[in-house]
């Protein structure tokens, strides 16, 4: 076996392959930007790292967050989600400038890198600043401009255009940033708007990131207004496909779960945030038994500290 540029030795190597094989002790050999060797043989390299007492594993992925909200950490405590958003978070966010978002995103990217997170799925605004912060730190991002019709003085066309513009400019940027469209939620975006988002996502060939069924009162209001659950309503307009990621997805019935399975929709489970804001608990065990794709997210630092 030849020498590698970087040789990691003597660690507990979690391969995360189909067999979930573990090498203890194990080694990893890296040359250029590629992992060339993973196994139990001792390796040598130009740079050698003794990983004794450490776990060596693929990078973690944060499936749902709002990274610039590090600047809201420990603020607005002990509030339920709706009050937290409408009375505290949204009024402050209206005053944020690009430099605030950049500072919060840089801190978040550094914290994620230190915690082993190498890719994150993010929704906020001034997302060009988030993209720059991620690349500066050296982690990958799947980013979307948060699109909110509720309370906006902009037209639906103007709101959507902002998300489309970011996707067109940053999808694939520097080989480290990918874009999605980010309609905020079923209660802050109309079905007509969500239908237009679906059309643009198909045109751009990007995915969709949306909060859905996070807390009970808006879900109850949605059902009263539309006569169906948010999942059923979105499915009826052709919104749900395998490129959609639902954040939270807590208040779902059995039919909703069946639809997610049939459409191969992914879900981000955010347990710490859901506990902090008393949002509820998603039916994760049932989702996984059905074969629904489930990942873990932190949500924004403001809602999990």
What are the tens digits of pLDDT across the range 131-149? 999 999 999 999 999 999 9
Q: What pLDDT does residue 89 have?
A: 86
> If pLDDT is split at 50, 70 and 90, which confidence band does 8 have?
very high
Burial group, residue 15, by CB count within 10 angstroms (0-12, 13-18, 19+): middle
pTM for the whole structure: 0.92
What's the rounded Cα separation, in Å, for the pair 134 and 141? 7
Q: How confident is the model at residue 150 (pLDDT cuts 50, 70, 90)?
A: confident
Q: Return the CATH number of the domain spanning residue range 60-303.
A: 3.20.20.140
**Distance between CA 257 and CA 114 in Å, rounded?**
35
Burial 218-230 (b: 16+ CB within 10 A, else e): bbeebeeeeeebb
Q: Which CATH architecture has domain 4-56?
A: Roll (2.30)
Q: How high is the mean pLDDT of the chain?
A: 96
- Answer yes or no: is pLDDT of 63 > 90: yes
Average pLDDT over residues 167-189: 98
The DSSP H or E segment spanning 77 is: none
286 pLDDT more than 80: yes
Question: Encoding tokens for residue 98?
Answer: 């690009």
CB atoms under 10 Å from CB of 6, counted, come to 17
Per-residue pLDDT tens digits for 14-42: 999 999 999 999 999 999 989 999 999 99
pLDDT of 93 reads: 87
Q: Hey, where are the domains in the chain?
A: 4-56, 60-303
């Amino acid at each position: 076996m030849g020498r590698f540029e970087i040789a990691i030795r003597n660690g507990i190597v979690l391969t995360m392959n189909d067999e979930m094989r573990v090498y203890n002790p194990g080694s990893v050999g890296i040359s250029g930007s590629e992992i060339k060797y993973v196994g139990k043989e001792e390796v040598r390299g130009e740079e050698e790292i003794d990983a004794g007492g450490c776990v060596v594993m693929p990078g973690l992925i944060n499936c749902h967050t709002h990274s610039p909200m590090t600047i809201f950490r420990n603020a607005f405590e002990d509030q339920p989600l709706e009050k937290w958003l409408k009375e505290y978070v949204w009024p402050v966010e209206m005053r944020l400038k690009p430099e605030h978002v950049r500072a919060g995103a840089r801190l978040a990217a550094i914290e994620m890198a230190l915690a082993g997170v190498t890719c994150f799925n993010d929704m906020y605004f001034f997302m060009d600043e988030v993209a720059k912060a991620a690349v500066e730190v050296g982690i990958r991002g799947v980013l979307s401009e948060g699109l909110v019709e509720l309370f906006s003085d902009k037209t639906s066309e103007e709101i959507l255009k902002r998300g489309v513009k970011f996707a067109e400019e940053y999808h694939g940027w520097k080989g480290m940033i990918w874009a999605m469209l980010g309609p905020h939620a079923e209660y802050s975006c109309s079905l007509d708007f969500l239908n237009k988002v679906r059309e643009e996502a198909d045109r751009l060939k990007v995915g969709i990131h949306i909060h859905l069924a996070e807390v009970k009162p808006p879900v109850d209001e949605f059902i009263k207004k539309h006569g169906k659950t948010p999942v059923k309503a979105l499915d009826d307009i052709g919104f749900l496909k395998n490129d959609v990621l639902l954040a939270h997805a807590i208040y779902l019935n059995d039919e909703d779960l069946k639809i997610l399975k049939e459409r191969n929709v992914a879900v981000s489970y955010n347990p710490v945030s859901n506990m902090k804001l008393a949002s509820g608990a998603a039916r994760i065990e049932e989702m996984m038994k059905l074969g629904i794709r489930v990942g873990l997210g932190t949500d924004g630092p403001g809602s999990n500290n």
